[in-house]
Structure 1
């Protein structure tokens, strides 16, 4: 974390709550991270497994990931997929979370599970609605419950490998049911793109003939298909049709005595294990989780209770003799070693803290605007790093400061963040020689040159720190102080350039088509009153700087310098400058911001 400058760590595995010694591990991590003003994200949580100690520790610091995966809304469906979790577990978790000050919860579910009917689908929103009600009962005014739903895809080497996948129209019908119910229960609803799920079903149980379809799609330009905005479903349909393959054979029910495309792959399971589990699922019969003592929800959190279970009570781990040669004694010994290593030895009675997260903000010392010292830092953002967003730039700066071991003051409340404040957002892909941000630090900086050197040593390619100025609480914000931007636009063709510039300077009105995000339409806009200066020119910079800018914005040719007025951070956009010049018959490169006029 220190060397990378990051402020968040995450624990990820198939089921975090089932990890041995997860309780002492998370508690120790949270203790260490809180000292670094860093947070811990925990993914793949079930509706159980986070005991009171973990939740209380997580409530003391910002937590960016608190997501649970019930996977099915009704108890019947949870039994079918062998979740071993009840609605009581779900509601208990909701109370535990919301009573500690959280206002948001994400719940993951699936639709299209074997034997599912519409009542099971509606139970998803009913369950989430009950969780929202628990939040209200815990005093949360406007709880945010996000229900994320994906479509079930049968997978090889699982008890559901013989099950059919619901059709594309059926997926869409059930998604629409949930969308309507979300409004009724005041829930946020997110769905997995149905057409991608349909394609996943073909690929999951397809045989080697599907490889030709995948290759054909790739040959015709299919890329990044996991992203909705780049997924071209019609292209995949075309490739399937060209193959002449009936893909429905991979989506329908497969006879249990039929030949499977993956039969030749040995994953270590006995011949009938999956068949037995499939039959139990269709009869709503649970299989307690293997690798645990019967009746246990999570693994032991200390050595004393583990030894009582195995050495005194002589209990054993559940095993179905599935064919995988698990070393049960070795598993128990491994857990002993984990708990010993974490120094989780005795079973101490847990006493909850008197102050929970929702009360902490009220007890913290309130910092006012005069605490510490405040500085305005000038920097350049050039080259490939211009393709990161304004929000991500703030995160990059936070990491640079952390790597440089330069302390900053932090905001108060639940979401601690460094007190960095930036000027108007720079358009994506536009290099800028001059940008600013303000930072508040605990004590005064006495050697600006040394600070700049330290920042340079820990910076990222394309971020160049130029100057530091001391400011105070009366200094206008960068947003308010910015009065003008100057852009340099390299021009590829120099023919009649001087005449075009002179003609533009004499115009009283310059109309362009500008896109209004608010109205979501193009509107006519007169930018002439915003243009303060217009002249021929070029930029003269160090060759190393030119090379970095040149990677994304060729800038070696001469061109035009345009100065535009700015009000509250808005003025003439770079895209509007390009439109103006191309409308005059010029072929231009991306604009480069070369100066900002600050008035304070």
Structure 2
């Protein structure tokens, strides 16, 4: 399939650096129910990819949802969804594993199964050799809305459980009776596994009169240092949502925010040791070439050795211009010393989540900070030079009043005021407003969501009051939140609604440009199910909750007690200070590490003055679908992996001193492309050319390198002539074109004479044409405009290669031609 007409075709090509191509008896498709950029940002997928591929009898390949443009082509051409690694059709895998991170991904799960040729329901897969379909992730703590579609749910941490699942499958496949019933029964005996066809539910596939009573206990690993963690993750070609190295410094949170599901289902807090964190950072940076690391956690600011580890990280990496970022921090955890360390290389954006606008409501939700804490945190941020800030708030929280809504506006205005007092430039403040969504297994699981019209009024009021105040406001789609609330606390009846909505065309529902609530309303009409009734429903303690058969380890009694404390406005302090008897038995030794005061430093090699290098490279094969920015990113990361000591620019945001020649269009290959870079000596051309090529992906190759004078004309200024070979071009209009003296083309608001830009056209063979284009005076030639005028063939049907680039120096010469440069001799 030609991908030129598809948005971001680099999503769909394989051969990324660090991708694993392994053949094994048990083939697992790690299917993420969203597009590539979202799935490749998910740490859990990277962890499972490593664990499965480390097993001798199993292999993992990746599958993502196509975007709507490619999906349309697949359906019209009867093309089946395949994996990235081996282009293996989804239906040919042994196991398909979904990660359920978000309730609005449910229809996309069905869409992926359908595109992959796999029946949607367990009952339609059980008598045939279809893959086993499993799912994990936070949404599985209430698995019932998806229970007819998933054969087995893994509740909790998957590092150990996935090995047990694959061991059972391997034995069943190699030595078992081949019946899904025996496989399902074996899986149901694993702790943390819920099998709807076996456990006592309305789903009755095997016609058993008796089924297992059950209480599924969540799995969790005890020690993060012993848990597998990727050291050489796959490096995407395209920019992903979290385009950096993510090191999980801790799992779980002890702060007890009453709306937060993750704070309950990832308990207890377990910290990764500082030595392990730094070791993982070292290995990941070496194997990827990224220039940013994020220390991730539900509450990174509460990591017990944060200041020490940030200092040690900077000691190790700041001379390599590796920056550090932290996710959203609690107001009370913002620390001036930590900010000073973070800004050592460059200041990344900063996020604070106050959630509520008044101290009273923050007590209700157990967000323990005062107005003065908030003011002090803002002063520290702006005094330390931050000019980008994100503030997140929620509306519709339990007991919320108009004073709390006014409080949000006042907190935003206070941020603007403090920014103005402490900075001398414009500050970029972004405000996020999201509706409260009640979640299963939280203290607020009993509280119903506010009606849509009430939240619409609150959202509109805040937006109106803050308009023209110099802030950017992003609000969440209320209908999306309505569905999220319904599925979070829903039951198995909702499965029919999900299936009907999918059949009407719903998928990728988390994307505003795709989401269509009218289709959901039609599905509600057909099924008689009203999602607003599910979302608004208020429960009492004596009610049986649909998700009670899933045991997170935190008792219902504790959650109810927290709910009542919240309604009364009482705070529950950090449970690492006082045990509140939530039901878990915590190992305190794994929850906090003491500062060991060890200082890490790294010796830097002795460097001489920088030199300027010009490199010639080719871009061919599938990598012709990379954009210019993607090619730049691939090469710069490869230079870092090859330990090239790049010279960096000065200022607040240092970047490598590297510049590329004229960009190639997406889908156009290039045989002689160029870039210039400044590097620190010593730099042996032969050695580094070999080292760089060894770490570049298949399709990009360094052909030649030379040292050039610093005053050499830039590539974009020097290059003015372009030679192309085009296969599949029909030259029906060419003679008419060549006979004209002027052929004008409207570019933006300017008329451009294309005839002056076409120097030569000749037929090489029956199917291939050579075209040479030149810039005219100060106007750059564009191949796409020339082809639009002279061809009758759709652009996506052409195979285009740029053969050579030239500049003028007493004749047309190539940028690395010996007589084009005063070559520089230097001593390594």
CA distance in 2, matches of 1:578, 1:237: 46
Report deviation, 1:175.
Answer: 3.6
Q: Deviations over 1:360-417 (max 9, x none)?
A: xxxxxxxxxx962112222122333344443343332221111111111111122222
Q: Which residue of 2 aligns with 1:505?
A: 738
Q: Rate the CA distance shift 1:396–1:179 in 2: closer, same or farther, 3 A.
A: farther
* Map of 2:720 onto structure 1: 483
Alignment partner of 2:676 out of 415, 438, 441: 438
Structure 1 counterpart of 2:470: 186
> Paired residue for 2:773?
564
In the alignment, the residues of structure 1 paired with residue 450 and residue 784 of structure 2 have an alpha-carbon distance, to the nearest angstrom, of 46
- 2: distance between equivalents of 1:510 and 1:76? 71
Q: What residue in structure 2 maps to residue 534 of structure 1?
A: 761
2:356 equivalent to 1:147: no
**Aligned position for 1:456:** 693
Aligned-partner Cα distance in 1 for 2:794–2:327 = 54
Aligned to 1:88: 372
Deviations 1:483-503 (A, max 9, x none): 1333333217xxxx4554323
Q: Distance in 1 between matches of 2:673 and 2:769?
A: 21
Aligned to 2:544: 259
Contact residue 581 and residue 588 of structure 1 kept, 8 A? no
Aligned to 1:397: 635
Deviates more, 1:144-153 or 1:185-194: 185-194
Matches of 2:492 and 2:752, distance apart in 1: 57
8 A contact 1:21–1:335 mirrored in 2: no
**What's 1:356 paired with?**
none
Q: How much does 1:9 deviate?
A: 1.1
Query: Residues 584 and 3 (structure 1 numbering): CA distance in 2 closer, same or farther, change over 3 Å?
Result: closer
Residues 466 and 145 from structure 1, CA distance in 2 versus in 1: closer, same or farther, beyond 3 angstroms? same
Match in the other structure for 1:280? 565
| 2:743 and 2:754 in contact (8 A); partners too | yes
Determine which of 406, 411, 416 is the counterpart of 1:127.
411
Question: What is the alpha-carbon root mean square deviation over aligned residues?
Answer: 3.1
1:299-378 → structure 2 map (5 Å cutoff): 318-326=578-586, 330-331=587-588, 333-334=589-590, 338-339=593-594, 341=596, 343=598, 372-378=610-616
- How far off its partner does 1:561 sit? 3.0
Secondary structure of the equivalent of 2:293? strand
For 1:221 and 1:592, locate their aligned partners in 2 and report how far apart those are by CA, in whole Å.
39
Distance 1:58 1:592, change over 3 A: same
Instruction: Say if 1:567 and 1:31 are closer, same or farther in 2 by CA, change over 3 A.
Output: farther
Tell me the secondary structure at the aligned position of residue 455 of structure 1: helix
Local SS of the residue matching 1:96: helix
Matches within 5 A, 1:3-402: 3-218=287-502, 222-256=506-540, 257-292=542-577, 318-326=578-586, 330-331=587-588, 333-334=589-590, 338-339=593-594, 341=596, 343=598, 372-402=610-640
Provide Cα deviations, 1:420-454, integer angstroms capped at 9, x if missing partner.
Answer: 11233333333222322210112374x53333222
SS at 2:488 equivalent: helix
List gaps (5 residues or longer) in structure 2. 1-284, 600-607, 810-828
Query: Which stretch shows the higher mean deviation, 25-34 or 41-50?
Result: 25-34
CA gap 1:166/1:505 in 2 versus in 1, 3 angstroms: farther
Three-state SS of the structure 1 residue aligned to 2:640 is: helix
| Cα deviation, residue 335, structure 1 | 5.8
Check the 8 A contact 1:408/1:442 in 2, yes or no. yes
1:232/1:575 CA distance change after superposition, 3 Å: farther
Q: For the Cα contact (< 8 Å) 1:394–1:420, is it kept in 2? A: no
Give the Å deviation of 1:105.
1.8
Is the Cα contact below 8 Å between 2:497 and 2:529 reproduced in 1? no
Q: For the residues of structure 2 that align with 1:165 and 1:265, how far apart are their CA atoms?
A: 22
Q: Which runs of 5+ in 1 are unaligned?
A: 293-317, 345-369, 539-556
TM-score by length of 1: 0.77
Q: Which residue in 2 is equivalent to 1:309? A: none
Are residues 81 and 587 of structure 1, via their aligned partners in 2, closer, same or farther at CA, if it must alter by over 3 Å? closer
Shift of 1:217: 4.3
8 Å Cα contact 1:4-1:403 kept in structure 2: yes
Residue 127 of structure 2: aligned partner: none
Aligned-partner Cα distance in 1 for 2:696–2:794: 40
Whether contact under 8 Å (2:479, 2:517) holds in the other structure is yes
- CA separation in 2, counterparts of 1:574 and 1:195? 45
| SS of residue matched to 2:333 | coil
Further displaced range: 386-395 or 45-54:
386-395
- 2:124 maps to none
1:270: Cα distance to partner?
Answer: 3.1
Change (3 A) 1:240 1:560: farther
Task: Give the Cα–Cα distance (whole angstroms) in 2 for the partners of residues 166 and 429 of structure 1.
Answer: 49
